[in-house]
Every structure is written in C-alpha cells, then in structure tokens.
Amino acid sequence: MTDDLVAALRPLLTAEASAEAHACGAEPGDLEQAVWLRLLERLDSDGPPVDPQGWLRRAVRAEARRSRRTTRRERPYENEPAADTDLHDPERLVLAAARHRALREAVRRLPGRCPRLVEALLSPADPTYREIAGELGISQGSLGPERSRCLGCLRRLLTPEVAARGARG
C-alpha cells in the first residue's frame, strides 16, 4: 500500500514542490523531503489520507508557508564579524575562542546524528554534500532537510548565548 501511494504521489509532489519552491525561497528537493516526512508521520498515526492528492497539495503549501516564515524571522547578526581579521588583538582572540567553544559545546548537545552532520559542515576540509552523505550513510537528498532541522536545533540551543540585542521585525 505505501509503495503504491508513494509511486502515485511522486510526480505530483515533484510538480507541486517545484511550483512552490521559488516563491518561498526553498529548494524543491527540501520541500519534497519535508512532505515525505509529513506523510510518514501521518501514516504512523492516522493511516493514509482519504484524499491523497488533496492532502499532498495542502502539505506542500503548508511546508512552503513554514519555510517562508522561517526565512522571514531569520536575521543576520549585525555586530558579528565574519572573520577575525586582527589575530594579534588579545581581546579579539579571547572572544573568538569563546564563540568557537560555545558553538562546539552546543553542537555536541544536539540530538541524533546532528552532531556528526554539523561537524562535517564545519569541517575545514569543506566536504561536498555527496561526501558528507556518504560519510553519514544517508541519501544526499535527505541532507538538506536534515541540515535545516539540525541548524534549527542549534539555533535554539545558542539563543541564550547570542540573543538579539535589539527589537526584531
């Protein structure tokens, strides 16, 4: 039953995700993966949807809205230097070390396989998605959504340490 449902919904999901992705600033593959996860969650709890095509369209739009909300709420840190240019300034060195230490500690506290994924993303070797997926033993298509979830968890862990200083919005 599940294989038939997946086979029947795959073309529609691909088309719907492609149509919605540009407007919400997401990758079509990320939207597809998110909807497949929602379908699996639904199958585990409530069984297959009565109207699979209608459910799928609504799920794609819901994921697109979630992606737009997330993108709208994310703000770059204005006072955070992209790189520590003056490496001879002791104060800058201490602050950079504290930031790196806080980041590494938060990465270690992440759930599941997130610590390994984020460590791979932070690696100075700068591996490709294909290399990271091979190292972690997951599909390359799952890497984007998994990365998004892990970075969301990391953001929540780091919020008290890097809380926004001014009003947002």
Beta-carbon count within 10 A of 69 CB: 11
Task: Single out the residue in 73, 100, 123 at which a domain terminates.
Answer: 73
Summarize pLDDT for 70-100 with one digit per residue, the tens. Answer: 777 766 655 555 554 556 778 888 888 888 8
Tell me: do 19 and 62 sit in the same domain.
Answer: yes
Summarize pLDDT for 44-60 with one digit per residue, the tens. Answer: 888 888 899 999 999 99
In sequence order, the 6+-apart residues with CB closer than 8 A to the CB of 11 are none
pTM: 0.48
Q: How confident is the model at residue 122 (pLDDT cuts 50, 70, 90)?
A: confident
Instruction: Provide the domain limits for residue 43.
Output: 2-73
Residue 57 lies in a domain: yes
Tell me: do 97 and 138 sit in the same domain.
Answer: yes
